[in-house]
Amino acid sequence: MLGQRELAVDSAASLPSVTVRTATFHPLLYRKRIDRCDAARPGDLVSVYGPGDALLGYGLYNPRSEMAVRLLFPGGDLPGEAQWRQKLSAAVSLRRDLLNLDETTDACRLVHAEADGLSGLVVDRYGDVLSAEAFSLGMYQRADAILAQLASLCGTRHTAVRTSPQFLSQEGYDPPPLASPELPEQVTIHEYGTRFRVRFAGGHKTGFFCDQRENRRRLADFCAGRSVLDLCCYTGGFAVQAKRLGKAAEVTGVDLDDEPLRLARENANLNQVRVRFVQSDVFLYMREMLQLGRHYDVVVLDPPKLVRNRVELEEGTRKHFDLNRLAMRLVRPGGLLLSCCCSGLLQEADFVRLLCSASYQAGPVTEEATAERSARHASRPMQILARTGAAADHPVAAGVPESEYLKAVWMRLG
């Protein structure tokens, strides 16, 4: 079940079939919607039929997953290798020809799951490396073939494949990571002239967060001569750009994990900028700074995913509230807070309401209100300046609005 498969299909007659209870062209078909399945194995490409044996299209099947079928090719045309290549070619063309990303970076999202018609797979390009994350068994089984097609379109040489952190619980299998024979341990990419190192062993996702590229660039416009605090800084993306592009007077980055911070320090040195990086739990660090009466002109709060499923929604929402209430109290009057949330299950409207509620309890920035215990229920004036999301190489499929995950809210605090 964990071996690699080809993209070619012999004939429609050779495919097993799945029948769903109601007709749909949504790419995610949950197990409870399956009426019957004929001879399909985990990871198989299947013909998908609706009521009256109407052919809806073709998708990848896994009976162990709640998302039992990922519909990739709606309609009646049998998908062979040429149809896969057409999807991949369109994805590359969006980034290269329409967005012109080659002019500003050599790191971008090339395949963005449902938004590129390839549910269950994301692929990022980092220089000469294609780094993929598989969310479905069927996509993992075809990763080598897909990346070979992408490499021929992009001219890259190396590949890396990992599975999502929840792959075992969601897909029922635990496949090993894949790598091309000469995959380098790390590569150096550039983004608006700033260089970053990307390592492929360990780390989060595919190795780097390309989705924040434009937000990092935009933040730099607010940083000249100012003090900047980057909370949950990971490998220093916002912090380094605030110093190099933004010409900030001082920048501090805070993260709990030691390995990303080592890379963050390397990234600062690589660009010959001085950034102070601190290893600490951000809750503890913010409380310590409040007790010391420390405030910043610009604060970035970009925590990891706090809501991974509906069971975690209440607790994750409360963590976002607590983080933002503390971060707001660290912003100097008239300063900027950029607060981010990458949890797709926490809707943007709910996130904005959470931020407004946090501002009511943030308390004024005065000498008497610097301790955590004081001014808990005093209001902090807040103006929302903008709401942004992921960079355009992370598009949202019109038919799958729930795939819009990243929320970035820009606020001025009085």
| pLDDT tens string 126-168 | 999 999 999 999 999 999 999 999 999 999 999 999 999 889 9
Provide CATH 3.40.50.150 ranges for the chain: 209-413
CB 316 within 8 A of CB 275: no
209-413 to CATH, choices 3.30.420.40, 3.40.50.300, 3.40.120.10, 3.40.50.150: 3.40.50.150
At 373, list the tokens: 């215990």
CATH of domain 12-74: 2.30.130.10
Stretch(es) of the chain classified as CATH 2.30.130.10: 12-74
pLDDT of 43 above 90: yes
**What's CA 146's distance to the chain center, in Å?**
21
b or e along 211-238 (b: 16 or more beta carbons within 10 Å of the residue's beta carbon)?
bbbbbbbbbbebbeebbbbbbbbbbbbb
pLDDT at 25: 83
Closest CA to 135 of 167, 105, 103, 97: 167
Q: Which residue do the tokens 């598989």 mark?
A: 134
pLDDT tens by residue, 313-354: 999 999 999 999 999 999 999 999 999 999 988 999 999 999
82 near 15, Cβ under 8 Å? no
Query: What is the reported pTM?
Result: 0.91
* Mean pLDDT over each residue of the chain, to the nearest integer: 93
CA torsion, points 336, 337, 342, 348, in degrees to nearest 10?
A: -90
Give the mean model confidence (pLDDT) for residues 110-119: 97
CATH 3.30.750.80 domain extents, the chain: 81-184
Residue 368 has pLDDT above 80, yes or no: no
- What pLDDT digit, counting tens, does each position of 274-306 carry? 999 999 999 999 999 999 999 999 999 999 999
Largest CA distance in the chain: 76
324: its two tokens: 């933002």
CA 288 to the chain's CA centroid: 30
According to the CATH classification, is domain 81-184 in 1.10.357.10? no
Please give the pLDDT value at position 365. 57
Q: Please give the Cα distance from 189 to 400 (Å, whole number).
A: 31
